[in-house]
Amino acid sequence: MEILGIDIGGSGIKGALVDIETGHLTTEKHRIATPKPATPENVANTIHDLITHFGWKGQVGCGFPTPLQHGKCQSGGNLHPSWKNVHVDELFNMKTGNDFSVVNDADAAGLAEISFGAGKGKMGVVIMITLGTGIGSGVFIDGKLLQNTELGHVLYKNGEVFEKYAADSIRKREGLSRKEWGKRLNKYFQHISLILSPDLFIIGGGASKKLGKFSDQIKIDIPIVAAESENEAGIIGAAMAAKYQIK
């Protein structure tokens, strides 16, 4: 069975049909630049164009880069302030006629890894951490998703959240070496480990390809592995969210 998976990002919106039994893409990925400004109307029009490209009439799963509650945006994230309080699934359904399951993008990436990647068959508490513009998280308990955890927003100090201190975008902005950045991440992972006592961390996002360059600075007793799905994780996980009808 195939489902269309869509991954919405700050710079691009990409999608492909996914075989939900194997996790393999059955079409080439198609990418459209995220519109500027990324308002609800503009993004919905882009989603319509993407679905038209595939000629898709069925179910759609969508990874979305904001905090969500049952498909409703809790903030505009890095897209646009006007997204706050918008029901994304309902908006996209009205624009396209397709039935949508919309989940946070880090939850989507985690679903791909739990279903087909580094987290497959792992019991206990598994945490997917995506390191990019921000810090995203997907928490799984015996393979079941605990939605919308937003662990990048836990406080570091003086009211500052950890993603403003340790995201990959901060490393680039401040010109930190991988070793310097790893020391910041060490504080973050020690904090999350204390709170949740996970059995495994999976690192996603662009930083997953460079894990060996900073992981030695993270001094915890919990295994840390790189995500296996890489750039396809958001698309695959979005399709899995639709399979399980997560909203």
Q: What is the pLDDT of residues 22-79, one digit of tens each?
A: 999 999 999 999 999 999 999 999 999 999 999 999 999 999 999 999 889 999 888 9
pLDDT of residue 10: 84
What confidence category does residue 11 fall into, taking pLDDT thresholds of 50, 70 and 90?
confident
CATH 3.30.420.40 fits 2-107+232-243, yes or no: yes
What confidence category does residue 111 fall into, taking pLDDT thresholds of 50, 70 and 90?
very high
Instruction: Work out the angle between the directed axes of helices 88-96 and 40-54 (0-180°, nearest 10).
Output: 50
What pLDDT, in 10s, does the model give residues 199-228? 999 999 888 889 999 999 999 999 999 999
What pLDDT, in 10s, does the model give residues 175-199? 999 999 999 999 999 999 999 999 9
CATH 3.30.420.40 domain range(s) in the chain: 2-107+232-243, 121-227
In terms of Cα–Cα distance, which of 47, 52, 42, 156 is closest to 93?
47
How many Cβ atoms are within 10 Å of 195's Cβ, its own excluded? 10
What pLDDT, in 10s, does the model give residues 155-174? 999 999 999 999 999 999 99
CATH 3.30.420.40 fits 121-227, yes or no: yes
DSSP of the chain = -EEEEEEE-SSEEEEEEEETTT--BSS--EEEEPPSS--HHHHHHHHHHHHHHHT--S-EEEEESS-EETTEESS-TTT-GGGTT-BHHHHHHHHH---EEEEEHHHHHHHHHHHHSTTTT--SEEEEEEESSSEEEEEEETTEEE----GGGSEEETTEETHHHHSHHHHHHHT--HHHHHHHHHHHHHHHHHHH--SEEEEESGGGGGGGGTGGG---SS-EEE-SSGGGHHHHHHHHHHHTT--
What confidence category does residue 153 fall into, taking pLDDT thresholds of 50, 70 and 90?
very high
Count Cα neighbours of 154 within 13 Å in the Cβ-side half-sphere. 16
Q: What pTM does this model have?
A: 0.92
Residue 21 has pLDDT above 80, yes or no: yes
196 CB-contact burial (10 Å; exposed 0-12 / middle 13-18 / buried 19+): middle
Residue 102 has pLDDT above 80, yes or no: yes
Mean model confidence pLDDT for the chain: 95
In terms of Cα–Cα distance, which of 24, 122, 22, 104 is closest to 62?
104
Check: CB of residue 221 under 8 Å from CB of residue 44: no
